[in-house]
Chains A and B, each alone.
Chain A
Amino acid sequence: MLSKDKEVKACYSKFSRPMLDAPITVRIKFCKVGNLQFISHLDLQRAFYRILVRAGIPMWYTKGFNPHAKLVFGLPLSVGTESVCEMADLRIERQISLEEIKDQLNANLTDEMYVLDAYIPTTKFADIAYAKYTLTVESDKMPDNALSQIAKLFFVSAPIMMTKRSKSGEREVDIKSFIKDITAEVQDNTLRINAVLSAGSTENLNPEYLITAIKQNTDIFADGHNVSYRIMRETVYDANMKEFC
């Protein structure tokens, strides 16, 4: 059965909005945390088209044989990494306020992924050069010398050679060359690392490589200590280390 007295939903109301003279681009900043860290970038893109329809965002559609809403994501996020600084650009063709975009989207999202802000962008995603990540490693028994092991690994000058996979194939690289800045602290069996890594289309390092390096070069992940870790993308920067927004 269908409830007859249902309010008119957002996806119809979009037609009552006046057309803009020309489509405009609106950037949304959103978080993607918890269970949703396991949703791949490709799946996220596909899901977003539906979210935009549900939310009644008056998207501009491409005019080709296969019309689709114009939607561009910023820096892809790897599976297993959470983020509080994801961005996407929406092409809008009808009048709608930034506040309405945020509210209508959030009515159709969950507490593990929601819009933090909507604004008119002044930058291009291509200008993203770095990203800051927090890596939190929890253990039943963090080794006493964990911090010095980390320091030896990342601060002493020996290179950390690892096989890096990318679309263009595999290559041996020193992952340290992608680390712009790194700090670490240990407190109550928890190791916390803040790392600024190369990010973007030219040079990019998946923060998972830091975990792999720790696994291979320290005994922090030794068997039987019930070790778990989380990675959070906190901020993205441009080439001058100015926060990208």
Chain B
Amino acid sequence: MNKQLNEILKQVSKPGRYSGGEYGQVIKDKANIKARFAFAFPDTYEIGMSNLGSRILYNCLNNEEDIWCERVYAPWTDMQDKMREHNLPLWAHESKDPISEFDFLGFTLQYEMCYTTVLNMLALAGMPLRSRDRGEEFPLVIGGGPCAYNPEPIADFFDLFNIGEGEHMLVEIVRLYIQMHDEGRYTKADFLHEAARTIPGVYVPSLYDVTYNDDGTIKAYTPVYDDIPKQVTKRIIEDMDTALFPEKVVMPYTEVVHDRIMLEVFRGCIRGCRFCQAGIIYRPVREKTPELLNEQAKCLYENTGYEEISLSSLSISDYTGLPELTDKLLDWTVDNMVSFSLPSLRVDSFNKELMDKVATVRSSSLTFAPEAGTQRLRDVINKNVFEDDLLRAVNVAFDGGKHQVKLYFMQGLPTETDDDLRGIPDLAKKVIEAYYQNPNRNRAKHPQVTFSVSCFIPKPFTPFQWEPQDSLEELYRKQEFIGECVTDRKIRYQHHDAKTCRIEAVLARGDRRLSDALELACREGFKFDAWSEFFDYDKWISVFERTGVDPAFYANRRWSYDEILPWDIIDCGVTKEFLIRESKKAHEGDTTPNCREKCSGCGANKLGGERTCCPKIKK
């Protein structure tokens, strides 16, 4: 092992997160490798190791004999100081080799606030930030994940983006790279052109020129070649039962955030809540069969030794095979002392049978997300749950002896009034009242309702993508207003940092003109902006001022339906017409049924998919 790194590890906090050597890590002989891929998660090891997507892609790439994929995480600040002190560049977790020696550096982009960490990692690797400044000697920098659906704020730093699900696409990209090298015709420019031309889902930002109108809106995106797509359509895995499933898992020794089996049950969501980006960009819904899932769960249990299984998908209770799957799981998990949990329960589908099945979970609290305080506003956001659903659900929980309930809400939603805000603590009060009216309640305990209120952030590819975010002052006023309505000590109120939400809104709807600001932020040492102890709003505003960026233009403006959006270059399957329709219905307070009740013609069925609830399109 690298002696220098070894010495440094003796001087930093939690060295186990840098040392590698985990059971299940992939080590290959460099002599047989044609392409080396550094798969980076722009946050700490503890966060990155909890991400299911990266685990899947790690296996996809390493299943190829001549490709070696290694992991990279952002070192904590004490480690970064030591690295600078000792001139140690960012290294890959498995081999400890410097990143700059790799063929590819891939970032998974899970949240906007990681952008400064991405640039920080490029700088730690000793690489120029902008793609145009990186010569042939540097790795190709590629990005994927949910934030790649509007990659424009970071487009100047990346050579290429993967739009959509990466299992096949990522391998095709590396294969093309190997092939062009084998044939002796590789140059970075030729590779990027050929990838954009031949591999669906590949977006090469440098191959598209952007022009702007006088009012700052976008005038046009123009491809620099005639033979590359005018719009990049996202890739999906059509049949989830055949999707590569990571049988072997890298087992962290140190404690990570989600230290359990994560079983992906389906992709997509039938609901179509109008603020939710995940509910749109992962369409169409594609389910796995319960038989296969049960086998996969067993396999993961055998290969990991984890004694907790989390069924992980958006709105898990919408899975058509849920009763069958939970029965099959209970057949063997009980004897093996394995518990399982269901995140993100919908109040309208929570019942006693389901609660009894997950009763092995040790937690005494349950979490529901009504999102808004009044029926009027829940209709606007198309949440499609009713107060009665919530009260019925909490009564099921109280019948079962639970006494703590957590509720998630959002404030700053389109059309919101103070009455809607007052509805949030009112709903919490009704839950407390329901507890005392429940004859089967646990009389030894007092009820506890914690409600958490986040700020609405308009996100690309949602019906609310044109909406303005409330001003910072208004977000603060609303936070206080809600707080003043809470009078009961059995009700606890938490809220998100409004300043972070505002910067997130700027980055979420940003375009390429933000790159100067991000570069300056990196030069000034920004990193870990997703961590409250590092986020500094005033510094962000100062960076925007010095680079000529008006944050209100991105965060607080009502965008018009006919303006060209920075993310119009991407086709996520769902049409703009559908989103406009949904946006108009929101303002009329009209709801849209979920995909299983009635297809509302979002357009995602053109992508295909097995075990969807979409009408088939003849190809």
* A interface residues, Cβ below 8 angstroms from B: 1-3, 6, 9-12, 15, 34-40, 43-44, 46-47, 49-55, 61, 66-67, 79-80, 108-110, 112, 138, 228
- Taking a contact as CB atoms closer than 8 A, the residue among B15, B23, B243, B247 that contacts A109 in the complex is B23
A11 lies within 8 A of B301 (CB): yes
B255 touches A39 (CB 8 A): no
B299-A49 in contact (CB<8A): no
Interface flag for B110 (CB, 8 Å): no
CB–CB B15/A53 < 8 A:
no
The chain A residue sitting closest to B337, CB to CB, is A67
Are the C-beta atoms of A36 and B305 separated by less than 8 Å? no
Instruction: Determine the chain B residues whose CB is within 8 A of the CB of A108 once the complex forms.
Output: 23, 305
Q: Mark B233-252, 1 if CB is under 8 A from A, else 0.
A: 00000000111110100010
Q: What A residues does B243 contact at CB under 8 A?
A: 1
Report yes or no: A50 in contact with B305, Cβ–Cβ below 8 A.
yes
**Contact B242–A35 (Cβ < 8 Å):** no
Let me know if A39 and B23 touch, CB within 8 A. no
* In contact, B295 and A2 (Cβ under 8 angstroms): yes
Distance in angstroms from B565 CB to nearest chain A CB is 38
A-chain residues with CB within 8 Å of residue B305 when the two chains form the complex: 11, 49-55, 108
Inter-chain contacts of A39 with B (CB < 8 A): 16, 19, 253-254
How far does the alpha carbon of A167 sit from the alpha carbon of B247 in the complex, in Å?
Answer: 42
Given the complex of chains A and B, what is the CA–CA distance between A39 and B21 in angstroms? 10
Interface size class of B (residues with CB under 8 A): 35 or more
Closest residue of chain A to B259 (Cβ to Cβ) is A46
Closest to A69 in B: B337
Of B6, B18, B23, B362, the contact of A66 (CB 8 Å cutoff):
B362
A2 touches B16 (CB 8 A): no
- Which residue of chain B has its CB nearest to the CB of A44? B253
Is B84 an interface position by the 8 A CB rule? no
CB atoms of A9 and B302 under 8 A apart: yes
List the B side residues contacting A35 at CB < 8 Å: 1, 19-21
**Distance between B425 CB and nearest chain A CB, rounded to angstroms:** 34
Q: Does B359 belong to the interface (CB within 8 Å)? A: no
Is the C-beta of B326 less than 8 angstroms from some C-beta in chain A? no
Is A43 within 8 A of B16, CB to CB? yes
Nearest B residue to A54, CB-CB: B305
A2's nearest neighbour on chain B, judged by CB, is B295
- Nearest chain-A residue to B7 (Cβ)? A228
- Residue of B22, B305, B335 contacting most chain A CB atoms (<10 Å): B305
Do B302 and A40 touch across chains, with their CB atoms under 8 A apart? no
Which residues of B pack against A, CB within 8 Å? 1, 3-4, 6-7, 9-10, 14-16, 18-23, 241-245, 247, 251, 253-255, 292, 295-296, 299, 301-307, 335-337, 362
Q: Quick check: A15 and B335 within 8 Å, CB to CB?
A: yes
Q: Looking at the assembled complex, report how far the CB atom of A188 sits from the nearest CB atom of chain B, in whole angstroms.
A: 16
B254, A43: Cβ atoms under 8 Å? yes
User: Contact between A40 and B307 (Cβ–Cβ < 8 Å)?
Assistant: no
Q: Which residues of B contact A67 (CB under 8 A)?
A: 337
Q: Do B307 and A53 have beta carbons less than 8 Å apart?
A: yes
Residue of B nearest to A111 (CB): B21
| A2 with B19: CB separation less than 8 A | no
Name the B residues within 8 Å of A9 (CB-CB). 302-303
A15 proximity list for chain B (CB < 8 A): 335
- Is A61 in contact with B292, judged by CB distance below 8 angstroms? no
| Chain A residues within an 8 Å CB radius of B4 | 228
Contact at A36–B302, with CB atoms within 8 Å? Answer: no
A36 vs B6: C-alpha distance in the bound complex, in angstroms?
A: 11
B96: nearest chain-A partner, CB-CB: A35
CB distance from B46 to the nearest CB of A (A): 12
Docked pose: A79 CA to B247 CA in angstroms: 31
Residues of B near A36 (CB, < 8 A) are 19, 21, 253
| 25 A-B pairs with C-beta separation under 8 A | A1-B242, A2-B247, A2-B295, A2-B299, A11-B336, A35-B19, A35-B20, A37-B19, A38-B16, A39-B16, A39-B19, A39-B253, A40-B254, A43-B253, A44-B253, A47-B253, A50-B306, A52-B305, A53-B305, A53-B306, A55-B305, A79-B15, A79-B16, A228-B4, A228-B7
Lowest 7 CB-CB distances: which A-B pairs, in order? A35-B21, A50-B305, A53-B305, A54-B305, A38-B19, A38-B15, A9-B302
User: What residue in chain A is nearest B296 (Cβ atoms)?
Assistant: A2
What is the minimal beta-carbon distance from A13 to any residue of chain B, in angstroms? 11
- CB of B18 within 8 A of CB of A38, answer yes
Chain B residue at minimal CB-CB distance from A56: B302
Alpha-carbon distance A11/B298, docked complex (angstroms): 10
Within 8 Å CB of B10, what residues of A? 80
Residues of A within 8 A of B244 (CB): 1
- Contact B251–A50 (Cβ < 8 Å): yes
Across the interface, name the chain B residue whose C-beta is closest to A35: B21
Shortest distance between the CB of B73 and any CB in chain A (Å) = 15
Bound together, the chains give a CA A51 to CA B23 distance in angstroms of 10
| A109–B24 CA distance with the chains assembled, in angstroms | 9
Q: Please determine whether A2 and B245 come into contact, CB atoms closer than 8 angstroms.
A: yes
With CB as the reference atom, state the residue of chain A lying closest to B11.
A80
Q: Which residues of A contact B251 (CB under 8 A)?
A: 47, 50
Chain B min CB distance to A4 (Å):
8
Residue from A11, A79, A110 within 8 A of B21 (CB atoms): A110
A49 to B307, CA, bound (A): 9
Q: How far is the CB of A11 from chain B (nearest CB, A)?
A: 5
Q: Knowing that A47-B253, A52-B305, A108-B23 are A-B contacts, what are 15 other residue pairs whose CB atoms are under 8 Å apart, sorted by A's residue number?
A: A2-B245, A11-B305, A35-B1, A36-B19, A38-B16, A43-B253, A49-B307, A50-B306, A53-B306, A54-B302, A54-B304, A55-B305, A61-B337, A79-B15, A228-B4
- When the two chains form the complex, which single residue of B6, B292, B301 contacts A2, counting CB atoms closer than 8 Å? B292
* B442 nearest CB across to chain A (Å): 16
CA distance A50 to B260 in the complex (A): 10
Inter-chain contacts of A50 with B (CB < 8 A): 251, 304-307
Q: How far is the CB of B339 from chain A (nearest CB, A)?
A: 11
A110 touches B16 (CB 8 A): no
Cα distance A37–B21 in the bound complex, in angstroms: 10
Question: Of all chain A residues, which has the CB nearest B18?
Answer: A38
Residue of B whose beta carbon sits closest to that of A6:
B299
The complex places the Cα of A196 from the Cα of B20 at a distance, in Å, of 30
**A107 to B: closest C-beta gap in Å:** 11
Tell me the bound Cα distance from A12 to B242 in angstroms. Answer: 26
Instruction: Write the nearest CB–CB distance from B340 to chain A, whole angstroms.
Output: 15
- B303 and A54 contact, CB distance less than 8 A: yes
**Shortest distance between the CB of A214 and any CB in chain B (Å):** 14
A40 surroundings in chain B (CB, below 8 A): 14, 16, 254
CB distance from B183 to the nearest CB of A (A): 31
Question: Can you name the residue of chain A whose Cβ is closest to the Cβ of B4?
Answer: A228
Chain B residue contacts of A38, Cβ below 8 A: 9, 15-16, 18-19
Separation of A6 and B580 alpha carbons in the complex (Å): 50
In the bound assembly, the distance between CA atoms of A39 and B15 in angstroms comes to 7
**How distant is A30 from chain B, measured CB to nearest CB, in Å?**
14
Distance A50 CA – B253 CA, assembled complex (angstroms): 10
- The chain A residue sitting closest to B10, CB to CB, is A80
Considering the chains assembled together, what is the distance between the CA atoms of A1 and B56 in angstroms?
Answer: 12
A43 neighbours in B (Cβ, 8 Å): 16, 253-255
The answer to whether A11 touches B302, judged by C-beta atoms less than 8 angstroms apart, is: yes
Q: How far is the CA of A5 from the CA of B143 in the complex (A)?
A: 36
| CB contact between A110 and one of B7, B23, B247 (< 8 Å): that residue | B23
| Shortest CB distance A180–B (Å) | 25
Query: Please, which residues of chain B bring their CB within 8 A of the CB of A3?
Result: 247
- Shortest C-beta distance, A199 to chain B (Å), equals 20
